[in-house]
Amino acid sequence: MASLKELKGRINSVKSTQKITKAKQMVAAAKLRRAQAAAEAARPYAERLSGVMASLAGKVSGDSAPQLLAGNGADQRHLLVVVNTDKGLCGGLNANIVKAAKVKARALLNEGKDVQFYLVGKKGRAPIKRDYADRIEKHFDTSEVRTPGFDEAEAIADDLIERFEKGEFDVAHLVYPVFQSALVQDPTVDQLIPVPSPEGDTGTAGDAVVEYEPGEEEILEELLPRYVKTQLFGALLEREASEQGASMTAMDNATRNAGDLIKDLTIQYNRSRQAAITTELIEIIAGAEAL
């Protein structure tokens, strides 16, 4: 049984940990507001761009379609671009992203496809390396900047497009979390390259006749790389919001657990202290009676 001194030390240690988790929770809550606002502000732009892409893609087909839209005619080599966080203490967020990536990888491997990984962020490296060490294509480090933004998304997109044009892969899939709330961050897998032809709505102008200058093919040549960059930028923003939301929830749970542990240790301490006092009283009374 632990001594009173040991119990007192454990209580003080847990109290110190509780202060840290409470502070981290407050920091994550403050960062979450900004990250959530940035992620939500980027969504309308991505939707509008998708509408324009749908309108243009419906007018361009066959040999005139750019390679980023039409693909290279193959579907054998797949690249999974997995967007994880650079920091921990955010619950099961990274584990869920890695799980979604592994599920997609297994499905492709079962179909006889070749799968490679392009890892963004530090926290997804170790769990993927355990199972697919020989399939990791590249690590893209985003930890050197305080808040990854469009510059990092542009660098990733340029690298991926260059690799695609060199024929290093046929299809790229983007695996990233979508922020729903502080409690819910859904891992999502979307095709990134070649850009999937939007289905359903073919534009934002309804039945209106739209003339493009200089032409649909030229505009697509410019818009397709920007679309890839926008998707990656949106994924980074969603990652930041998801990280702060998951961190806030995890730190809140840790603070509550620390409080419960402090209560249990305090009860145990008081009982041990009372038992020690009772023992001393019994010894004093027994000694007095002996005299």
Distance CA 215, CA 195 (A): 19
Q: Is the dihedral of CA 132, 134, 137, 141 positive or negative?
A: positive
In the structure encoding, which two tokens stand for residue 135, read together?
């399939």
Among residues 280, 279, 258, 269, the alpha carbon closest in space to that of 21 is found at 258
Distance CA 249, CA 54 (A): 38
Among residues 13, 177, 4, 9, the alpha carbon closest in space to that of 85 is found at 177
Residue 77 phi/psi, 5° resolution? -100, 120
Distance CA 153, CA 229 (A): 6
* The amino acid at 42: A
Of 11, 79, 90, 241, which residue is the catalytic one? Answer: 90
Confirm whether 90 is a catalytic residue: yes
Give the residue numbers marked as catalytic.
90
